[in-house]
Every structure is written in C-alpha cells, then in structure tokens.
Amino acid sequence: MNQRGTRSAERGAENGKRRILVLILSSEFRAPSSEFEMTLNQLQELIRTMYGAKDSARGTEGTFMWFMEEVGELSAALRGGSHEERVLEFADVLAWLATLANIAGVDLEQAIRAKYGAGCPGCGRKTCECGTVEKP
C-alpha cells in the first residue's frame, strides 16, 4: 500500500469554509480510532511533524516518485478497488501532495485560495461555465 500508513480524508464544509476531516485508522480498515477536523495548513504541519526530516533527506525528486506511485495506486483503486481502498488511496495521495508542497515551500491553502477563491480560473464564476473544449 504506502509508506504513510493508513489514513483517510474526506472534505466537509463548516461555516462556508472547506475543511478536511481526517480519520486515523488502524493497520486494517476498521472503525476509526479518532476523528478530527483539519485545515490544509494543519495537514501540512502534521505531515511536516511526522515525516519532515525523512522528506527533506529524500528531496523533491524522490518524493515526487513516491507521489506518482500513490497516484498509480489510486488509479487502480478507482478502476477496481473497494470503497475502503479508494478512501485510503485518496488519503495517501493527499499526504504525499502535502509532502511535496512542504518541500517546495508552498502553502496549499494559500495556493487554493489564490487560484480558485474567486471562482473558476477560466470563466471567473463560482459554478464553472467554461465550454467542454477547455475542460471536457
């Protein structure tokens, strides 16, 4: 499966602000041992605390390779895995994306806010009205 352990992430909304609900799971997919809400910044800090030294030593290129491996596992789970496998693979991809952002010095919340906060980057609307030629 992955180097991060088993975790799952879901998005939810609270007071109009996007949040990430992270469920810390045991080594087998069982009932969550704890639940808590987390922002993207808090996720980045959690990943930095848990893996920062290893991630820095591995560097961007090595970390990107792990990220791509997880994207491949997510692809396989989307094509034929169980819901639980998809949940875990989405969490892995998100964790490795946070790792890459940490290494590159990118604040994910700030990046999302800058690119999507005012609406679709193509048409500027909250509900995208771009034609399917731009984004099929």
Domains and CATH numbers, the chain: 7-105 (1.10.287.1080)
Nearest Cα residue to 5 out of 90, 66, 88, 73: 88
Per residue in 70-112, pLDDT (tens digit) is: 999 999 999 999 999 999 999 999 999 999 999 999 999 999 9
Tell me the pTM.
Answer: 0.71
Per residue in 54-73, pLDDT (tens digit) is: 999 999 999 999 999 999 99
- 34-to-31, 37, 48, 88, 120 alpha-carbon distances in Å: 9, 10, 20, 16, 35
130 in Cβ contact with 121 (< 8 Å): no
